[in-house]
Each structure stands twice: as C-alpha cells, then as structure tokens.
C-alpha cells in the first residue's frame, strides 16, 4: 500500500459521483488515502456556504472519516513555506490553500492526486497524478 494525497477537487468529484471522479479510481484503490487539514476545512466550508443542515452534513462527515487527515505541525509548516517560495521563485505563485495541500504531499513523500495540475506547476519536487 502506498500513500496518496487527494486534492479537494478530486475528493469532491468522487463524493458527488461525477465522471471526473471515476478517472481517479485506479489511483486510489488499495492505497492509504490522505487529505490535508486544508481540504477538510474547504469541504466543511462548502457545506456551510450551501447552508446544509447538520443532518445533510452527516454523510459528508462520515465520508471524511474514511480518510487520514494530516494536521498542521512545525514540519508541515516548514514544507508550506518551502512550497510558497519554490512556486514564487519559479514564477508560478501558488495560493496558500493549495500550498498546504502540496506541502502535505511533500511532507509525506507521496504524490498529489489533483484534477488541477496547473495549480501546482511551480512546486519543485512535487509528484502530481492528474487525469486532466
């Protein structure tokens, strides 16, 4: 079993049973699936911004519970800073939220599975799996 870090977009495609999500199933099956605390926060915000009731949020929260969540630490924060600087130096600035997700993958030494590969182009050393 290998570790795979799942970006928010791929996670939501799978959750919504969208066709794009099906493209990523071979990359997920049989692996340890990790999301960044940033992805967890984005998904919770998604439900809140849509005014989901606690009852409607329950399936989302149950599904989130099936993933390993990597929380912030000093080591992860160091990787985040390195991601931000790497992208800046490479002329491809990255938004802070995406930098946390990329930092999670780098910290764990795992590829990032994303449908938005261009968001991560400037990050040195990041292995990206994308079907986009």
pLDDT tens track of the chain, all 132 residues?
A: 899 999 999 999 999 999 999 999 999 999 999 999 999 999 999 999 999 999 999 999 999 999 999 999 999 999 999 999 999 999 999 999 999 999 999 999 999 999 999 999 999 999 999 999
pTM greater than 0.85 (yes/no)? yes
pLDDT value for 46: 94
Which CATH homologous superfamily contains domain 3-129?
5'-nuclease (3.40.50.1010)
pLDDT value for 17: 94
pLDDT value for 112: 98
Evaluate whether 42 touches 10 at the Cβ level (below 8 Å). no
pLDDT value for 68: 98
pLDDT value for 20: 94
- Residue extents of the structural domains in the chain: 3-129
């Amino acid at each position: 079993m290998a570790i795979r870090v799942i970006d928010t977009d791929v996670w939501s495609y799978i959750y919504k049973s969208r066709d794009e999500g099906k493209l990523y199933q071979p990359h997920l099956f049989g692996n340890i699936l990790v999301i960044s605390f940033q992805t967890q926060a984005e998904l919770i915000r998604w439900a809140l911004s849509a005014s989901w009731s606690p009852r409607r949020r329950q399936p989302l929260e149950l599904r989130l519970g099936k993933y390993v969540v990597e929380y912030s630490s000093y080591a992860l924060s160091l990787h985040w800073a390195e991601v931000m600087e790497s992208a800046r130096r490479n002329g491809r600035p990255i938004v802070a939220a995406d930098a946390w997700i990329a930092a999670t993958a780098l910290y764990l030494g795992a590829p990032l599975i994303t449908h938005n590969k261009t968001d991560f182009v400037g990050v040195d050393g990041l292995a990206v799996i994308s079907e986009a």
